Amino acid sequence: MTSPASSLLLDETHAPALQSWVVSANDPSTDFPIQNLPFGRFRRAGSQEAWRIGIAIGDQVLDLAAARRQAVWDAEVAELLTPLAEGDLNAFLARGAAARRALRLALSRALRQGSAQQAALQACLLPLAQAELTLPCAIGDYTDFYTGIHHATAVGKLFRPDNPLLPNYKWVPIGYHGRASTIGVSGQAVRRPWGQLKGEAPEPEFAPCRRLDYELELGAFIATANAQGEPLTMAQAEGALAGLVLLNDWSARDVQAWEYQPLGPFLSKSFASTISPWLVTMEALAPFRVPLVRSEGDPAPLPYLDSTINRSQGALNVELEVWLSTKAMRERGEAPVRIAESNFRDAYWTLAQMVTHHASNGCSLNPGDLLGSGTLSGPQPGQEGSLLEQTQGGKVPLKLPDGSERRFLEDGDEIVLRAHCGGTAGARRIGFGDCTATVLPALDAAYWTR
């Protein structure tokens, strides 16, 4: 198991003054400066090439299979590049944080201005505009948590105005097991699902979802495994984390309202989830760790969910945004509009607490498993991470600049999630890349009579 605080170390790769010979990586607005170096899986757009692992740098992707062949590396780095050259990010992640740090240092030095490897690596770059991206690694299992206390409170008020938070919320990180098989990557089209809906009539109906919603989340990838029956301590959980992606965990709110009692989400959540394609590592995120802040009077976590590191730097300063583009807006050539923003530091539970609790009963986690944060909302208006909150359950429509309104998503709507870390002294701004998906109409009713 990786050493406790291995993902918290700062080193020369984080220096804000570092510049790359990849000129676009030096643009202050890029999500992918040399201080980031996220992993993704790609191939040339329009080709049937094998998927391979790359590093995003500016507006380029560095092909690590080509880099393994073309450049000169010392034996340790060459060996670390081998599973990546074979397109197997899961196998690389399983090596833990020390391996990630070693490779990050080597790639940082190779991509810096004045690097002797520039000539060899120049030919290993592909413009991101010419790349097709897929899931960064194989996802074996998916669990979605409920760490956004402001989301939990706002939704709870819709159903329990006088007691929005259930008694267990401040004691246990709530989560449910989702479907890895329906996780797609940014750029996908999500078909409006059918499901059982219960209105005022005595019997439910089977119909297309009428209350389709997005959920603004982050997804955490597991790097190293624990054996079944061997829980993880908080210290071990820090080392078990690989990094983060953006996550849109779509919800069919009307299906959810009818089906979720007594066992929780099922078909209202399993029809689709969308993640951003670039895995931003815990090493890249290290400068943006911040103290975990709880409200006065909140209970202290039970000892298995507590640690000095978690209290002092367990939270993350990740600024999140939701953008909406309607079909009519795109036809008129109009840009998307931002409809919400929030920050991950407002989450009630940290990543390490999520991992520790998940494994606390002896549940085994494996490289490539994905943990969703739950909807990340803030305490102020305009910081809602879903339309369910923003429209108060559909009662108060969201008004768009062109005069149109949304209570829930309509066919043709495109949702774009964005995130970045910045505003930290002595740290270079880094981002996640977009997480985009478009709503397709539901299947025609005739489909069910075939």
DSSP conformation class of 58: T
Residue with tokens 């299992």: 141
C-alpha span between 140 and 369 (Å, rounded): 5
C-alpha span between 71 and 69 (Å, rounded): 6
C-alpha span between 195 and 179 (Å, rounded): 17
- Catalytic positions, written as ranges: 151
CB of 247 within 8 A of CB of 274? Answer: yes
SS3 440: strand
C-alpha span between 145 and 374 (Å, rounded): 5
> Which residues, including other chains, have CB under 8 Å from residue 180's CB and lie 6 or more apart?
139, 140, 141, 142, 370
CB atoms within 10 A of CB 336: 17
Kindly report the backbone phi and psi dihedral angles of residue 93, in degrees, each rounded to the nearest multiple of 5, phi listed first: -60, -35
One-letter identity of residue 332 = R
Structure token digits, residue 68: 């393994």
C-alpha span between 390 and 420 (Å, rounded): 22
Find, among 62, 61, 43, the residue nearest to 52 by Cα: 43
